[in-house]
Structure 1
Amino acid sequence: MNAACTWPEPLGRRPPFAATLFPAIFLFYLVEAIIKGFEPQRPAWVGIAVLLLAVAYGAAYTFALWRGLGLSHQARIWLVVACTLPPVAFALMMDSNDLTYLTYAVVAAMMLLPSAVGLAYGVTATSAVLAVTGIQHGSPNFQGGVILAILTGLMFTVRGFARKSGELQLARDEIRTLAVAEERARVARDLHDVLGHSLTTITLKAGLARRILESSADVDRALTEVHDVERLSRQALTEIRATVSGYRQVSLPAEIAGAKAALLAAGIDADLPQAVDDVPGELQEPFGYVLREGVTNVIRHSGASRCQIRLGQSWIEVEDNGSGMSTVDSNGGNGLAGLRERLAKVDGRLTAAPRDEGGFLLRADV
């Protein structure tokens, strides 16, 4: 719908009455109408009527400024009508030039009604002043007409700025909401990656230490595994802190070393790349996440005896000879969904599917 034909939205909260009083101070111009009403040549009832109408006019105008935007559309229309009647009555009882007091009604109309309707109201009020004064006095009251015309144009411009300001504020709120959602998603992805891999390795190391202690007296080897569990726990805690603070960085060489230790603890033969020099710097972090998630899934779900990791300048593969179920859901899940989001930032794509010859393949291409 055209913005000029839409009704102004209520404010987020009611403005303080003191803020309403500032524009309402211009109502003191109505004192001139009251003084005219009590001029000696006029009947006494005219002065009293003008006084009562001026008070009602000021009250309606002040209420429009304070609470008008919180009213229904129909109530707003009646409020504008209530602001229109007093200056018309002034003109009928005293002089047609008193139609200039429609200034307050123009402000109310431009504030409460759709801007196109308010503009039409202002143009009509200006035309009425010029026409009626021209008929009664032989020449139009151009001063009053110019005042109404300028006020109408000014209020129309202010309405436009207010609408743009409101749209800008909505855009800012939406950006803020999206930023919060993105930060939550980032923390969720990183915690999944950190805890998933680290806890899997810790579990394997603790189980290996237990089996050593149960089946032999090789205390030194068991202590080595326990020390590894302690080291991995401290490392996981450090990574969690870095994740929450937003300063965590993934190193592809470190992930390769971690994958080797995790696969060895799981009793899985590992075929790993010896160097990562060919991989561009901007791809080493997303490839490190792919490697970490792939190895974690191999250990958890595949039942494989061998895992091969191959690496190119713009691709990485994690392949196993297991059951073909290296992930619970090859089309979804937190881990793969997080990898797809990371790769999308570098225009990459992820492939996760069982191999025809058996086993499972996880591949990332940029």
Structure 2
Amino acid sequence: MFRKDRGGCRMRDAEGLGPPPTGFALLPWLLMGLGALSHLLQGETPNPWIGGIGLLLFNSLYVFIAFRAFDRNTREARSTRFALVLLGLLTVGLAAGYGGNWLLFFPLLGLATGALVRGRGLGFTGLGLSALAGVVGGARDGWGAVDIAYGTFLSTMVTAAILSLSEAVRELRATREELARAAVEKERLRFSRDLHDLLGHTLSVIVVKAEAARRLAHRDLGAALGQVSDIESVGRQALTEIREAVTGYREGSLTLELDRARDLLSAAGIDAVVRQAGPPLDPQAAALLGWVVRESATNVVRHSRAARCEIEVTGAAGQTRLVITDDGCGAGPGAAGSGLQGLAERLAAAGGSLTSGPAPHSGFRVTAVLPGTPMADSDGGDRPGHDAAASRPPSGRS
């Protein structure tokens, strides 16, 4: 079978399984009772009114059970179980009273039982029902009861096995589709976070450098042109990073992000102090901490109105800590809550943590901690003990 997806393309309907089975799948087996109906119509059955009423009740109960057997809630309802018990009593009564073709109602009872019963009790139920069919059949039909008992057991177990397998396959299919949807949502979330981090930082750099170029244009054209050149470089780099984010191959570099953060803060007129100590980091830790540096530096420029920002990375065996502190108004990184929240989720998934809040004396502080053993960084490693400071330009902060 085929169905259309949301984009209008045709695709197979879940591995070609088609719609789930319903009670109609069990109705053709009622033809096994045609022999009893034929004897009843030909007047070969004593007390035909009793037989006719019994046949009508049997078919009604069987149809009722068949259409309630394919839904777990209705299958396990008391009314359905009670109907199965009534069907069993009616089958015993009709088979014991008339024998012959009426004994075929036992395999039909096995079909109904197999459609309802699941789990460990199925085997005992099937054996017990077969034994009952054998006893009643033996009393009415001698050794022919062996076929009735075997047919009853076979119909019970095969029906239960087929329906259980069908349900298991459909549950697995539904689980796989749910996992696929979750994977799509996860990728959408990754992409939205990457775009937020990339564009937020890049646009902030462009705005800051454009303001610097405007301030310098009337008194230092060369410096202004240098800022414009930086804007061009930042724009080209942003295009590359966005393409990498779309393909999912972008990895952050802590060293590169520290350099960019220093440049951004300096261009905004904020004293930037960057300290690193300890061995180089593994690529995953460097990438995660690089995102934290990028987001936090962008937020300092946007929201803090700070004069100084310190970024400190310290690594030791088993743990790496990144602390970013500014002396602004205290609303710095916290003003971009969605960005820091997304980063906190990323670090938590890697076994780390990210906290943010007011600094002890003034300003705002972001602290990121990652477990793991430091090792060579993918970009060649961060220099331990590196300490750099960029002073504000004479014109003051933007």
TM-score (norm 2): 0.68
Provide closer, same or farther for how the CA distance between residues 311 and 105 of structure 1 changes in structure 2, counting only shifts above 3 A: same
Cα root mean square deviation, aligned: 4.3
What amino acid does structure 2 have at the position aligned with 1:321? D
Structure 2 partner of 1:364: 368
Deviation, 1:288, is 0.6
Deviations 1:168-227 (A, max 9, x none): 3443344333323322321222122112211111111122222334xx154443333233
What amino acid does structure 2 have at the position aligned with 1:326? G
For the Cα contact (< 8 Å) 1:279–1:312, is it kept in 2?
no
* Equivalent-residue separation in structure 2 for 1:188 and 1:228 (angstroms): 26
For the Cα contact (< 8 Å) 2:137–2:148, is it kept in 1?
no
Structure (1/2) with the larger strand percentage: 2
Structure 2 partner of 1:316: 322
Structure 2: gaps of 5 or more residues: 1-16, 371-398
What amino acid does structure 1 have at the position aligned with 2:282? P
Alignment of 1:1-366 (within 5 A): 14-15=19-20, 42=44, 69=70, 91=95, 94-96=98-100, 98-112=102-116, 122=126, 125-137=129-141, 141-213=145-217, 216-273=218-275, 278-313=280-315, 314-328=320-334, 333-366=337-370
* Equivalent-residue separation in structure 1 for 2:140 and 2:179 (angstroms): 58
* Equivalent-residue separation in structure 1 for 2:202 and 2:18 (angstroms): 49
Structure 1 partner of 2:378: none
What amino acid does structure 1 have at the position aligned with 2:325? E
* Equivalent-residue separation in structure 1 for 2:282 and 2:133 (angstroms): 75
* Equivalent-residue separation in structure 2 for 1:145 and 1:16 (angstroms): 27
Deviation, 1:338, is 1.7
Provide closer, same or farther for how the CA distance between residues 97 and 25 of structure 1 changes in structure 2, counting only shifts above 3 A: closer
Provide closer, same or farther for how the CA distance between residues 14 and 115 of structure 1 changes in structure 2, counting only shifts above 3 A: farther
For the Cα contact (< 8 Å) 2:311–2:322, is it kept in 1?
yes
Provide closer, same or farther for how the CA distance between residues 237 and 269 of structure 1 changes in structure 2, counting only shifts above 3 A: same
Deviates more, 1:354-363 or 1:24-33: 24-33
Find the residue that maps to 2:351 and give its secondary structure. coil
Structure 1: gaps of 5 or more residues: 1-11
Structure (1/2) with the larger helix percentage: 1
Deviates more, 1:319-328 or 1:254-263: 319-328
Find the residue that maps to 1:249 and give its secondary structure. coil
What amino acid does structure 2 have at the position aligned with 1:281? P
What count of residue pairs does the alignment treat as equivalent?
346
Deviation, 1:14, is 5.0
What amino acid does structure 2 have at the position aligned with 1:126? S
What amino acid does structure 2 have at the position aligned with 1:323? C
* Equivalent-residue separation in structure 1 for 2:308 and 2:345 (angstroms): 28
Find the residue that maps to 1:328 and give its secondary structure. helix
Deviations 1:51-95 (A, max 9, x none): xx69x95x9978976886379558867986898799678747852
* Equivalent-residue separation in structure 2 for 1:115 and 1:282 (angstroms): 47
Provide closer, same or farther for how the CA distance between residues 32 and 43 of structure 1 changes in structure 2, counting only shifts above 3 A: closer
* Equivalent-residue separation in structure 2 for 1:116 and 1:365 (angstroms): 50
Find the residue that maps to 1:312 and give its secondary structure. strand
Deviates more, 1:293-302 or 1:97-106: 97-106
For the Cα contact (< 8 Å) 2:106–2:148, is it kept in 1?
no
